Structure 1
């Protein structure tokens, strides 16, 4: 998966930025020792961080269907991982490096995701977009100065490229056999009510009563419980 992203980035930069020029595209760590050996122009895309994109995580399962439209299996949704690249230009003159960085920035800003026509391998089989962002502010827990300090090199102008790659390697859960063509059937009907006089015998429980106790008639409502409604239309307050 990571190497496929590398191939897409290399092909994209060579075709739309370098235009076949004699500038190499490498993925080496730009350490002090490596920089001392650079003797020709090149673009370096150093992968310095890999972490999951928690904002894109989904819950539940995705269904897989056969040619009849029946569910045959379920699998977890893809999980996205952010690949962070440190892009630097290496030439003999700082002006040439700035010009090359400008071309790289203009090229990558044209895309919000890796071009679908350049995807290959598992990236193309997934059929999902591969979002990317360029030159955004780094998160609070990371700074580019710390990256250069860890590499042991000198601070250099760079572009931060972040690509969110979907990963679909997850267990597959087979679905149970489908229900027959007739489907499930349920019958509904009225249940005849039982009464105390229908042969159940005196003192036997009836529906709606507690077991072992005969049904009691509700107590008569007292006159005070009734609500008196007075017709006031066409009357005066004194009549009411």
Structure 2
């Protein structure tokens, strides 16, 4: 699923933001060593966080039916995972980097979700929309300065791109065969001896005989 999101973002940037210009699109960690080795204009998408979007978690099971209309399997609802990318532009001049960031921002603002033609492979299995956000404030437990500190680099202008990808759990419950004869019950009366075995209707116990020879109904 992550590989399909990477490919979709790369295609989106190359086709819509860069318009065929000679700018590399990579997914490397932007450390000091990496920045020193870079020798061409580059857009870097660093995947720095993966976490479940618990607000979107659904309960219950979905049913898959066969050609005869009978339920064959049941599956839990897909989970949603937020893939957060730190998007930066790298050139020789800050002005060129700002220009690239502007193109990237305008590109992502045109989409509220990944285009359908880019949702392929495992990303397409749930058959759901893949939302996309750009530049939202980070969660309270995380700051972009912390990301740069962890990378050992200097703070740099960036865009925060979050793709919310639905993921199948892979759990499948096989459904039992459908009922063909309705409901049957096995019941017994421990006091009077009456019994119903695999019956739809109650069978009363036989009448008993009293001391004077008369039959008594129970």
TM-score range for the pair, normalised by the shorter chain length: 0.7 to 0.9
Paired position in structure 1 for 2:9: 9
Paired position in structure 2 for 1:37: 37
What is the 5 A alignment of 1:1-240? 1-180=1-180, 183-184=182-183
Using the size of structure 1 for normalisation, the TM-score is: 0.75
Aligned equivalents of 1:143 and 1:156: distance in 2? 13
Aligned equivalents of 1:7 and 1:65: distance in 2? 33
In the TM superposition, what is the alpha-carbon distance from 1:20 to its structure 2 partner? Answer: 1.3
Aligned equivalents of 1:126 and 1:77: distance in 2? 9
In the TM superposition, what is the alpha-carbon distance from 1:124 to its structure 2 partner? Answer: 2.1
Using the size of structure 2 for normalisation, the TM-score is: 0.82
In the TM superposition, what is the alpha-carbon distance from 1:61 to its structure 2 partner? Answer: 1.2
The alignment partner of 2:125 has SS state of helix
Point out 4+ residue stretches in structure 1 off by more than 6 angstroms. 185-189
**Higher-strand-fraction structure:** 2
Instruction: Indicate conservation of the 8 Å contact 2:78/2:126, yes or no.
Output: no
In the TM superposition, what is the alpha-carbon distance from 1:119 to its structure 2 partner? Answer: 1.5
Aligned equivalents of 2:25 and 2:125: distance in 1? 26
In the TM superposition, what is the alpha-carbon distance from 1:169 to its structure 2 partner? Answer: 2.9
Q: Deviations over 1:117-140 (max 9, x none)?
A: 112111123211111111000010
In the TM superposition, what is the alpha-carbon distance from 1:187 to its structure 2 partner? Answer: 7.2
Aligned equivalents of 2:50 and 2:124: distance in 1? 21
Name which one, 1 or 2, has greater alpha-carbon Rg: 1
The alignment partner of 2:128 has SS state of coil
Aligned equivalents of 1:103 and 1:49: distance in 2? 24
Unaligned residue ranges in structure 2 (runs of 5+)? 185-198, 203-218
Aligned equivalents of 1:110 and 1:187: distance in 2? 64
In the TM superposition, what is the alpha-carbon distance from 1:6 to its structure 2 partner? Answer: 0.3
Report how many residues are paired. 190
In the TM superposition, what is the alpha-carbon distance from 1:28 to its structure 2 partner? Answer: 0.2
Unaligned residue ranges in structure 1 (runs of 5+)? 190-240
Instruction: Indicate conservation of the 8 Å contact 2:125/2:168, yes or no.
Output: no
